[in-house]
Amino acid sequence: MTSPRLIPQSDPPLPPWQTLPTMYDLPSDNPEEPGLPDDFHFLQPLLLYFTFQPSNWNSELIYSAADLNLYYDVQHPLWYKRPDWFGVVGVPKLYNERDLRLSYVTWQERVNPFVVVELLSPGTEEEDLGTKKTETGKPPTKWEVYERILRVPYYIVFSRYTNEIRAFQLVGGHYEPMNFTEGRLQMPELSLSLGLWQGSFRDIERLWLRWFTLEGKLIPAPTEEAAAATERAMIAEQQAAQAKRKAEQLAERLRQLGVNPDEID
């Protein structure tokens, strides 16, 4: 009879958090499809979604989405990419103005994305930055789809690890690196600029990618708008209280001088 195989143990046994794989050993990425969402891949697109507000477009014709299948080739209708975030102008928020989208199908929408943002992951860097070439018989890479098929005017790649932005603009049918103006990427067709902001979003302090006006003014997210409204109300209340105190002080001074303030017109 074969004796049972013993699993080596320390004496005393080490706790699980010292012996089992950690978050860094077990990332959320699917090895078959790298780049699937983690916490950052949820929060960063959410901030872009909240602050994507092109002021020169009807708000009813502005659409953006995160981690949504984007179908791009009518000849290969099952081929798709899944941008971390993309923005479109000229289409309603709801498909046919009545349905939440299950995907974005370009031959139905007839409007391609105007800007795409990819969040760099170690497993997707080559494809995101255009250094990976299409393999024979397989779908084209993201870079090739955005540049040559969809002809997306602006393509942005942001790394949470280095806080580096790599930005490209479609010029003559090819992506060319964009220049920064005062630390931001200008997109005059949208009356927007895109840049980095150090601050707290959803109570998490870090460097975030977010939308600004062309002049560099922050476009507030809903929670920030509420906080700003509360702050304005508090300031107005303080100013009213100060004005009341000054009026009371003036009235008291008049009484000391023998003047009844109630009889003054």
How do residues 146-158 score in pLDDT, each as one tens digit?
999 999 999 999 9
Tokens of 214: 């062309």
Task: Please tell me the distance from the alpha carbon of residue 187 to that of residue 52, in angstroms, as a whole number.
Answer: 12
**86-121: per-residue pLDDT in tens?**
999 999 999 988 999 999 999 999 999 999 999 987
pTM of the model: 0.75
The rounded distance, in Å, linking the Cα atoms of 153 and 178 is 11
What CA–CA distance (Å, rounded) separates 239 from 219? 27
The alpha carbon of 206 is separated from its chain's Cα centroid by a whole number of angstroms, namely 13
3-state secondary structure 139-157: CCCHHHHHHHHCCCCEEEE
Look at 75 and 254; give whichever has higher pLDDT: 75
